[in-house]
Amino acid sequence: MKLHYTKLGSGHPMLILHGLYGSGDNWLSVGKAIADMVEVYLPDLRNHGLSPHAEMMDYPSMAGDILELMDDLELEKAIILGHSMGGKTAMRFALENPGRVSRLIVADISPRNYLDGRQDDLHLKQHQQILSTLERIDPGLAKSIGDVDRIMEEGIPSRRLRQFLLKNLHKTNSGLYEWKLNREILRRSLSTLAGSIGDELIQGPPQKGYPILFIRGGNSNYMMDEDTQVIRKLFPLAQINTIKDAGHWLHAEQPELFIGMVRQFILEN
């Protein structure tokens, strides 16, 4: 699949993979902050942003899209940074294609299965509620983004989350709004996306071929202390840092600290 992407800066290539409901544009500020060090590529993953829609939505497919993008751009090796769903995609890609990765950075996600516990059930139900709400909304009937926001409020009370989701609205040439997200496929794929990066990979040999950094949010429940066991099994040399007073969207909540950690890791490795 040919992914849409934005390119910034020059130097050694670096790909930043966004999370669920996101797009490459969500990472523009981070990309601009490190574009003096590396050549940054901000792709929209399949069924997101301006990239094509597809029935298949799983980590092998998304990792394959990244490989195709690197091949098309003739990038022999790249730094791969991924957040949440993008972090799982990054880990899958790195384990399958170790020779194409110079460094790996994973933001607030573990390679494990997220369908195993009470907190994980809450995450899944939250995502089901979000996508059910989005599926009920026809933005083509709205006169403004504010109209869509007011309709969303009943199912999604968090204003911050609504503002993030509203970035997925696109105004067509006819002046009507439409969703860039493939809402139906994402809803149908939630259990797959909440699963592990691949049991065959988790049970496979460890990867020691490139420097690895995990950055977790101190207030997040997506990457717990017990997750270090599976992380160390797969990536025994991984460095694990915590950003205090940051939740799952740590790059948006503590951007200076997050960018500082990324820059330092690139400089030292």
Residues noted as catalytic: 84, 184, 248
Closest CA to 2 of 36, 37, 49: 49
Contacts within 8 Å (CB) and 24+ apart, 136-142: 139/169, 139/176, 139/177, 139/178, 139/179, 140/176, 140/177, 140/178, 142/177
* Contact between 81 and 105 (Cβ < 8 Å): yes
Ramachandran region, residue 110 (left: φ > 0; alpha: ψ -120 to 50; beta: rest) = beta
* Contact between 130 and 165 (Cβ < 8 Å): yes
* Contact between 46 and 181 (Cβ < 8 Å): no
- Which residues, 6 or more positions from 42, have their beta carbon under 8 angstroms from its beta carbon? 5, 6, 7, 8, 15, 16, 18, 24, 25, 27, 28, 31
